[in-house]
Structure 1
């Protein structure tokens, strides 16, 4: 189960803002430089995060982005759903395409339990859980 770059970047952006607090607004340029995310890609992600009500966008010269989602109530699953990463969860672990109970690959039955555990981890992990940690972003 591999996350798309868009989703990985969105998680990093939200973690960074949650970790550093809302004492200031974060510009797209600043976030791009600090997190090493290409500027144009970051701005597209920010539009999605604004539309999903994770962040607020303040226009103007002194504008930027602020976190409006409660980090203790924002699960990683919420972010994955915004970027539709969980919809592709049924792709075959061997890369053969769609995999289900009627059309199984050799590892399908072995992958059911680990996939369920990963989904549970996404559901039970919030931004609050992973902010304020000394993790690489």
Structure 2
């Protein structure tokens, strides 16, 4: 919930501070959104679909992490991913307006600031896949 202070600056009413996107530089904003691997996976998934139920998104992320078929993801693995998405990653991305989350329906959608964040993620991944010599070899 936001409100304007005496100077007309929008403030986060729950903590009395400006919303995160007003406190960060553009680069910091994008890197904050993409800092955690699960947030990057969420952005990749939402690049291919307009909306996703959080339960299905948790299965998508768990499947990605297991490098396997969703049929092999255990209920415990799904629950751990779901909990981290529900309590940490989705709220963070929602605060940054990268996604919007409707708690009544459980639907996650790309938010008003999704495109620039997704574009940076795609650009970084494109640059890093150009050559296989970016990371040092384990035998060196």
Range of TM-score over shorter length: 0.3 to 0.5
Scaled by the length of structure 2, the TM-score of the pair is: 0.44
